[in-house]
Amino acid sequence: MMKLKGKLDIETLGKNWLIEVEAHPEEMNSIFFVGKSVNPRDIRVTKNFNALPLLLPYCAKSPTCKFRYTEGCERCGRCDMGEAYQLAEEFGMEPVTIQNYEMLEQVLQSLKEQGCSAFIGTCCQTFLTKHRHDFERIGLQGVLIDIDNSTCYHLGKNREAHQGTFQNQTRLKLDLLRKVLDKVIVSDEVGRK
Protein backbone atom coordinates (compact mmCIF):
# COMPACT_ATOMS: atom_id res chain seq x y z
CA MET A 1 0.00 0.00 0.00
CA MET A 2 1.32 3.42 -0.92
CA LYS A 3 0.13 6.79 0.33
CA LEU A 4 1.11 10.41 0.69
CA LYS A 5 2.87 11.70 3.80
CA GLY A 6 0.48 14.21 5.36
CA LYS A 7 -1.73 16.50 3.33
CA LEU A 8 -0.36 17.93 0.12
CA ASP A 9 -2.52 21.02 -0.35
CA ILE A 10 -1.76 22.08 -3.89
CA GLU A 11 -3.88 25.21 -3.83
CA THR A 12 -2.13 26.81 -0.87
CA LEU A 13 1.16 24.96 -1.03
CA GLY A 14 3.96 27.46 -1.08
CA LYS A 15 7.57 27.98 -0.37
CA ASN A 16 7.31 26.47 3.14
CA TRP A 17 6.64 23.01 1.71
CA LEU A 18 9.27 23.53 -0.96
CA ILE A 19 11.78 24.44 1.73
CA GLU A 20 10.78 21.28 3.62
CA VAL A 21 11.56 19.34 0.44
CA GLU A 22 14.99 21.00 0.75
CA ALA A 23 14.70 22.41 -2.74
CA HIS A 24 17.20 25.11 -3.59
CA PRO A 25 15.65 28.45 -4.64
CA GLU A 26 16.31 27.70 -8.32
CA GLU A 27 14.66 24.29 -7.94
CA MET A 28 11.51 25.80 -6.46
CA ASN A 29 10.59 27.16 -9.88
CA SER A 30 10.82 23.61 -11.26
CA ILE A 31 8.00 22.18 -9.14
CA PHE A 32 4.48 22.72 -10.49
CA PHE A 33 1.14 21.91 -8.91
CA VAL A 34 -2.09 21.09 -10.71
CA GLY A 35 -5.49 21.00 -9.03
CA LYS A 36 -6.61 21.97 -5.55
CA SER A 37 -5.40 19.41 -3.04
CA VAL A 38 -4.22 15.88 -2.54
CA ASN A 39 -5.18 14.24 0.72
CA PRO A 40 -3.62 10.90 1.73
CA ARG A 41 -7.00 9.30 2.44
CA ASP A 42 -8.07 10.18 -1.11
CA ILE A 43 -5.16 8.44 -2.85
CA ARG A 44 -6.26 5.17 -4.36
CA VAL A 45 -4.75 2.78 -6.83
CA THR A 46 -6.77 1.58 -9.79
CA LYS A 47 -7.64 -1.65 -11.55
CA ASN A 48 -5.08 -1.04 -14.30
CA PHE A 49 -2.32 0.36 -12.09
CA ASN A 50 -1.00 -1.51 -9.07
CA ALA A 51 0.48 1.74 -7.76
CA LEU A 52 0.33 5.48 -8.21
CA PRO A 53 1.75 6.18 -11.68
CA LEU A 54 4.90 8.22 -12.25
CA LEU A 55 4.28 9.97 -15.58
CA LEU A 56 7.43 10.42 -17.69
CA PRO A 57 7.86 12.12 -21.10
CA TYR A 58 9.04 10.03 -24.05
CA CYS A 59 11.39 12.87 -25.01
CA ALA A 60 13.63 11.95 -22.06
CA LYS A 61 14.43 8.63 -23.76
CA SER A 62 17.30 8.43 -26.21
CA PRO A 63 16.14 9.10 -29.80
CA THR A 64 17.73 5.77 -30.78
CA CYS A 65 16.07 3.77 -28.00
CA LYS A 66 13.77 0.95 -29.10
CA PHE A 67 11.44 2.04 -26.27
CA ARG A 68 11.34 5.70 -27.35
CA TYR A 69 7.76 5.37 -28.62
CA THR A 70 6.54 2.61 -26.35
CA GLU A 71 6.51 1.61 -22.69
CA GLY A 72 9.59 0.07 -21.19
CA CYS A 73 13.24 0.67 -20.40
CA GLU A 74 16.34 -1.52 -20.62
CA ARG A 75 18.19 0.75 -18.18
CA CYS A 76 21.14 0.98 -20.52
CA GLY A 77 22.33 4.33 -19.16
CA ARG A 78 21.96 6.33 -22.42
CA CYS A 79 19.27 8.51 -20.82
CA ASP A 80 17.64 9.36 -17.49
CA MET A 81 14.74 6.94 -17.85
CA GLY A 82 16.55 4.01 -16.24
CA GLU A 83 17.05 6.05 -13.09
CA ALA A 84 13.46 7.30 -13.25
CA TYR A 85 12.22 3.70 -13.50
CA GLN A 86 14.44 2.84 -10.52
CA LEU A 87 12.94 5.73 -8.53
CA ALA A 88 9.45 4.51 -9.40
CA GLU A 89 10.34 1.04 -8.11
CA GLU A 90 11.91 2.41 -4.94
CA PHE A 91 8.79 4.39 -4.13
CA GLY A 92 6.32 1.68 -5.09
CA MET A 93 5.12 3.60 -8.16
CA GLU A 94 4.47 2.50 -11.72
CA PRO A 95 6.37 4.36 -14.47
CA VAL A 96 4.26 5.36 -17.47
CA THR A 97 5.85 6.85 -20.58
CA ILE A 98 3.64 9.55 -22.09
CA GLN A 99 3.98 9.64 -25.90
CA ASN A 100 1.85 12.69 -26.73
CA TYR A 101 -0.85 14.95 -25.32
CA GLU A 102 -3.69 12.66 -26.39
CA MET A 103 -2.12 9.75 -24.52
CA LEU A 104 -1.64 11.94 -21.44
CA GLU A 105 -5.30 12.92 -21.48
CA GLN A 106 -6.37 9.28 -21.95
CA VAL A 107 -4.15 8.13 -19.06
CA LEU A 108 -5.36 10.88 -16.72
CA GLN A 109 -9.01 10.34 -17.67
CA SER A 110 -8.64 6.60 -17.18
CA LEU A 111 -7.01 7.12 -13.79
CA LYS A 112 -9.85 9.41 -12.74
CA GLU A 113 -12.54 6.99 -13.96
CA GLN A 114 -10.87 4.17 -12.03
CA GLY A 115 -10.83 6.14 -8.80
CA CYS A 116 -7.28 7.46 -8.70
CA SER A 117 -7.20 11.02 -7.38
CA ALA A 118 -3.63 12.21 -7.97
CA PHE A 119 -0.56 11.84 -10.12
CA ILE A 120 3.11 12.75 -10.05
CA GLY A 121 5.12 13.30 -13.19
CA THR A 122 7.56 15.34 -15.22
CA CYS A 123 7.03 17.74 -18.11
CA CYS A 124 8.38 21.03 -19.36
CA GLN A 125 7.00 24.31 -18.08
CA THR A 126 5.77 25.30 -21.54
CA PHE A 127 3.75 22.08 -21.87
CA LEU A 128 2.16 22.71 -18.49
CA THR A 129 1.38 26.32 -19.37
CA LYS A 130 -0.19 25.26 -22.66
CA HIS A 131 -2.26 22.47 -21.08
CA ARG A 132 -2.95 23.74 -17.53
CA HIS A 133 -6.65 24.18 -18.30
CA ASP A 134 -6.77 20.64 -19.69
CA PHE A 135 -5.20 19.26 -16.50
CA GLU A 136 -7.71 21.19 -14.40
CA ARG A 137 -10.64 20.14 -16.63
CA ILE A 138 -9.76 16.47 -16.09
CA GLY A 139 -9.82 17.13 -12.36
CA LEU A 140 -6.92 15.15 -10.95
CA GLN A 141 -4.45 16.78 -8.60
CA GLY A 142 -0.80 16.50 -9.45
CA VAL A 143 2.78 17.44 -8.83
CA LEU A 144 4.95 17.97 -11.91
CA ILE A 145 8.72 18.42 -12.07
CA ASP A 146 10.21 20.49 -14.90
CA ILE A 147 12.72 18.95 -17.33
CA ASP A 148 16.08 20.23 -18.59
CA ASN A 149 17.54 20.90 -22.03
CA SER A 150 15.94 22.41 -25.08
CA THR A 151 12.38 21.19 -25.37
CA CYS A 152 10.26 20.91 -28.48
CA TYR A 153 8.67 24.26 -27.67
CA HIS A 154 12.02 26.03 -27.36
CA LEU A 155 13.09 24.57 -30.70
CA GLY A 156 9.83 25.38 -32.53
CA LYS A 157 8.96 21.68 -32.88
CA ASN A 158 5.45 21.90 -31.42
CA ARG A 159 3.83 19.88 -34.21
CA GLU A 160 6.34 17.03 -33.83
CA ALA A 161 5.82 17.05 -30.09
CA HIS A 162 2.03 16.99 -30.43
CA GLN A 163 2.36 13.96 -32.70
CA GLY A 164 4.92 12.31 -30.42
CA THR A 165 7.73 12.45 -33.00
CA PHE A 166 10.08 15.02 -31.42
CA GLN A 167 13.64 13.82 -32.03
CA ASN A 168 15.72 15.61 -29.40
CA GLN A 169 16.42 14.24 -25.95
CA THR A 170 15.59 16.09 -22.75
CA ARG A 171 16.92 15.44 -19.25
CA LEU A 172 14.92 14.71 -16.13
CA LYS A 173 15.66 16.52 -12.87
CA LEU A 174 16.13 13.26 -11.01
CA ASP A 175 17.59 14.72 -7.81
CA LEU A 176 14.62 17.05 -7.44
CA LEU A 177 12.17 14.27 -8.31
CA ARG A 178 13.74 12.11 -5.60
CA LYS A 179 13.45 14.94 -3.05
CA VAL A 180 9.77 15.41 -3.86
CA LEU A 181 8.99 11.69 -3.81
CA ASP A 182 10.86 11.27 -0.54
CA LYS A 183 8.67 13.92 1.11
CA VAL A 184 5.39 12.93 -0.53
CA ILE A 185 5.27 9.14 -0.97
CA VAL A 186 5.12 6.42 1.65
CA SER A 187 5.28 2.88 0.34
CA ASP A 188 4.58 0.26 2.97
CA GLU A 189 5.54 -2.46 0.50
CA VAL A 190 9.11 -1.30 0.14
CA GLY A 191 9.55 -0.11 3.71
CA ARG A 192 9.83 3.61 3.05
CA LYS A 193 9.39 6.07 5.94
Residue 191 burial (C-beta neighbours within 10 Å; 0-12, 13-18, 19+): exposed
**Per the structure, how many domains does the chain have?**
1
Q: Within a domain: residue 150?
A: yes
pTM here is 0.79
Domain range for 57 = 2-61+73-175
Angle at the Cα of 3 (from 115 to 193), degrees rounded to 5?
170
Residue 73 has pLDDT above 50, yes or no: yes
Percentage of residues in the chain with pLDDT exceeding 90?
24
> Which of the given ranges, 55-69, 143-157, 172-186, has the highest pLDDT on average?
55-69
Residues 6+ apart with CB under 8 A from 20: 183
Q: Within a domain: residue 106?
A: yes
What are 143's strand-pairing partners? 33, 120
Q: Within a domain: residue 186?
A: no
Give the residue from 166, 165, 163, 172 showing the smallest Cα distance to 152: 166
* Helix pair 174-184, 81-90: axis angle to 10 deg: 10
Q: Model confidence at 84, in pLDDT bands (50, 70, 90)?
A: very high
